Structures are given as C-alpha cells and as structure tokens.
Amino acid sequence: MIAYTHFKCNQCGSDLDYAIGLHSLKCVSCGEVDPIEASPLDMYLAHDYKSAISDIDYFDPQNVNHELKCENCGANFMLPVNVHAEECPYCDLNVVVPVELSRKLEPDGVIPFEIHQHQAESAFDQWIGGLWFAPSALKRKAIQAQSILGSYMPMWAFDAQVYSSYSGQRGDNYTTTIHVPTKVNGRTVMKKQTVVKIRWRYKSGKVHNSFDDVMTMGTETLPVKFQNFLSDWDLFKTREYNNKYLSGFRSELYQIGLPEAFNLAKDVMHRTIRSTVRRDIGGDHQRIDHIDSVYQQVGFKLLLAPMWISAFNYKDKTYRYVINGQNGKAHGERPYSVFKIVGTVLAVATLVGLIYVFSHY
C-alpha cells in the first residue's frame, strides 16, 4: 500500500479542504482555518532545459496506478492512472500521494483556484448561451454528461532566446495602367484602367525573439486544441508548490514529458517567429521560404493549473469543456448549426451582390 497525506482538522478531526481564494485549508465541519505557508513563486527563475534532459530521462512518463487503504473507512482503492490527488470513492476522504513516487519532477508551483464551482457552472451557462452559429435548441437540450470536476492539471512553462535566419520575398504594390475592352452604346472600345500589381524581390535576414513562460499542456486528458485557451493565466499569482492546495481537488501527474512539451512550445514560438520575420521583410506582402532557428538559454517550470472540467451531451454526441479556475473563462467543443452557417453565407453573398449592382448602376 502507498503512503499518502490526508489533512485533518485539529479541532474536530474532519477533512480540511482548500478554501478557494483564502490560501488556507478550511474544515468542512467546524470551519476551522489552517493558513497555507507558501510564498509566491519567482517566475523569473527557471530550470536549465539542456542540463535537465542530459541528466534525467523525461521522455516517457509511465502510467501509474497507486493502491491505497483509506484510513477513514478502511477500504482499498486504486487512484486513476496519472492522478496523485483524489477522494476515496467510498467515503470522500481527501488524499494526496507524493509526486516523487511516480515522477522525477515535482511541480515548481501551483496556480490556486479562485473560481468556485457555482461560478464555473454559471460561466458554462453563459458560454453555451452565447455561442455563434450554435443550434437554437442547444442551451435547452444540452444534457450535462458528468458533474463538473475541480482539477489541477500539469502545465509546462518555457523561456527561450531564439535567433532565426530566414530567406523569402518582399512584395511591394505599384500601380500601372492597362487597356481593357469595354462595351459603350453597343460598341467595344478600349478604356484605360488603373490596376495594382506586386513587384517581388528576394529578401533575407536575421531576427531575435525573447520568450517568457510559453505555456504548453502536460496532460493528455484534454485535447491539444485546447492549448491556446489554456495558456491564459496570471502567473504572478503562482505559489510555490504545496500539496495543501490540492486537498479537495483532483490533481494529475504530467503525462507529456519535457522534450515533447518543448516541441509543443516551439510550435507556439514559431508562430511569433514567423510574424517577426514578416515584419522584418517589410513591404506590402511577404513570402517566407525558409526559417532556421537556434534556441538558447532555454528554461522551464512545471506548474499545476486549476480547471473545472466536464462534458455535455447533445444529440448523442459528447462535447468536453473546461472553465479556467483562475479567471472563470470557458472554452470547449461545441456543435454548429449548418442551417445558420449557410444562411449567413447566403445573406452576405446577397448583400455583396446588391452593393456591386448599385455601385455599377
């Protein structure tokens, strides 16, 4: 059996849960408060990526099942794979298993929950009610597929200095006059018309980008397409890792290893690099043929981020969604109404056609 941590009230012996927004544990029975001693995490400090991957193998985090014996009800139970904080399924006792039993990296920090469950549920209602091109019956017929779950999910944060060499083409607009055949009173005549053309020329150069805390997911529980949304955090509210913040919530171990996570971060960085290259090329249009980037001074941190996670059913399909546990923003998979999309396209096409007709009348 695996040893675990359980937080009990010194006054009455009941569970202590993390009190959202208070940086304290609070007894679920008598209300006794136990402050959490955790300093703000220095977000300017990071582990050196190069030395980390040379010393430790992070490539394949293993799926781990922990078998525990509940000290409250005496039942034996297994924690779900890659979970290290959860409730006993029989009596709801909160347990936290030490990270080092199954991972070589302990989280550097925790972004504490600031949004309560009822706030998350309200955020979901507002989100689903405000979706563009959603079926009209969505809000009325969407059925909650599972209860909303408060969970800390692993996130990687990367820093890097990136030096990029590129080659491409710069396009500059210029105007010229051409003659086009035009019908006038039934006769074809040649009329002058001014048109805009593009003059292309070769361009190469070097650019530099400095990246700070580029966030990528460390979990496979949520789809990668959620990653952009899950990068929106006020990281200066991060606290040094303390497992007391996990009491009363689920918490996952990282399933995406460090090198794979850095490759995901490179994809994010590359979008910014391309934008920088386009600005450096200048002109009215840009073509990028090749970019070669060198990543230096790469640093990383492992954080636990708060999320309210659930799913809903609509017409026999399940759609996952997540509420940011810090700011209450909602994001998720959703259905679309083909009729609304087609109707909008037809309406726009009709409007454009009318504008064209009247402008040439």
Mean pLDDT score, 282-301: 97
Instruction: Specify if 77 maps to a domain.
Output: yes
Q: What is the pLDDT of residue 58?
A: 55
Instruction: Specify if 94 maps to a domain.
Output: yes
> Residue 360: pLDDT above 60?
no
**Global pTM value:** 0.88
Would you say 23 and 39 are in contact if contact means Cβ atoms under 8 Å apart? no
Instruction: Specify if 211 maps to a domain.
Output: no
Mark out the alpha helices in the chain (DSSP H runs): 49-55, 117-129, 138-141, 258-281, 338-359
Mark out the alpha helices in 94-233 (DSSP H runs): 117-129, 138-141
Instruction: Specify if 93 maps to a domain.
Output: yes
pLDDT tens for 54-109 read 876 655 677 777 889 998 899 999 998 899 999 999 988 899 999 988 888 899 99
- Confidence band, pLDDT 50/70/90 cuts, at residue 172: very high
C-alpha span between 235 and 120 (Å, rounded): 20
| Residue ranges making up the domain that contains 98 | 1-37+64-102
Count of C-beta atoms within a 10 Å radius of residue 315: 10
Q: What is the pLDDT of residue 193?
A: 87
Mean pLDDT score, 279-308: 98
> Residue 361: pLDDT above 60?
no
C-alpha span between 35 and 29 (Å, rounded): 17
**Residue closest to 48 by CA, chosen among 137, 160, 163, 213:** 160
Instruction: Specify if 298 maps to a domain.
Output: no
Q: What is the pLDDT of residue 356?
A: 61
Residue-averaged pLDDT of the chain: 90
pLDDT tens for 112-134 read 999 999 999 999 999 998 988 88
Tokens 């996130």, residue?
A: 155
Q: What is the pLDDT of residue 265?
A: 97
- As for how many domains the chain has, the answer is 1
Instruction: Specify if 81 maps to a domain.
Output: yes
